[in-house]
Amino acid sequence: MGDIKEMLDAVSLQLVLVIVMGIASIGISHSIFSGITTLEELMTSSFSLLSIASMLLGIASIVVIAWAGFVWAKESKGSAVDGGKAGALVSVISGIITGYLSMIYISPLMGTLYSAAGMPGLVSSSLGVLTYVMGIVFSAVMGFVLGAIGGHFGKNRK
């Protein structure tokens, strides 16, 4: 448990950055999707500046997660695997927070779009929970890979 606390202390800046970028992306997505009622409007809005800004925030989050792996590998004088652990930790914690907020703010809007497309009932609470859990697992795996990449560059060279 002490190792996790030390890891969180070392990568706290990266964790905060990823969470803030995730919340900002959810806010942008909510503002984009809130006025959409048809699939044509959805397709049109996917090329808006706000949509591009949300995508850029996602790319920046990827870089920050790799940075977390770099920082922890340097701090712990560890290997790429240690960096992967830090990346996974940052990804899981931010995924829990932003995934929950996304379920609250984005999923209901997507349910409206699915209903308009003739797929009513596609977004249900059980599907939302399943997607949430799968998202956290996927986030952990991707965070590990990204952190390991950053950790490779931050590892102690002999």
Domain of residue 57, residue span: 2-154
pLDDT digits (tens, 9 = 90+) for 26-41: 999 888 878 777 777 7
pTM for this model (two decimals): 0.86
Q: Is the dihedral of CA 121, 124, 127, 131 positive or negative?
A: positive
Closest CA to 92 of 10, 15, 21: 15
**pLDDT tens, the chain, 158 aa long:** 458 899 999 999 999 999 999 999 999 988 887 877 777 777 787 788 988 999 999 999 999 999 999 999 999 998 999 999 999 999 999 999 999 998 888 877 776 666 666 666 555 556 677 888 999 999 999 999 999 999 999 877 65
CA 122 to each of CA 48, 100, 144: distance values in angstroms, whole numbers, following the listed order: 26, 18, 31
| Count of the separate structural domains present in the chain | 1
Is the separation of the CB atoms in 28 and 53 below 8 Å? Answer: yes
155 vs 86: CA distance, rounded Å: 13
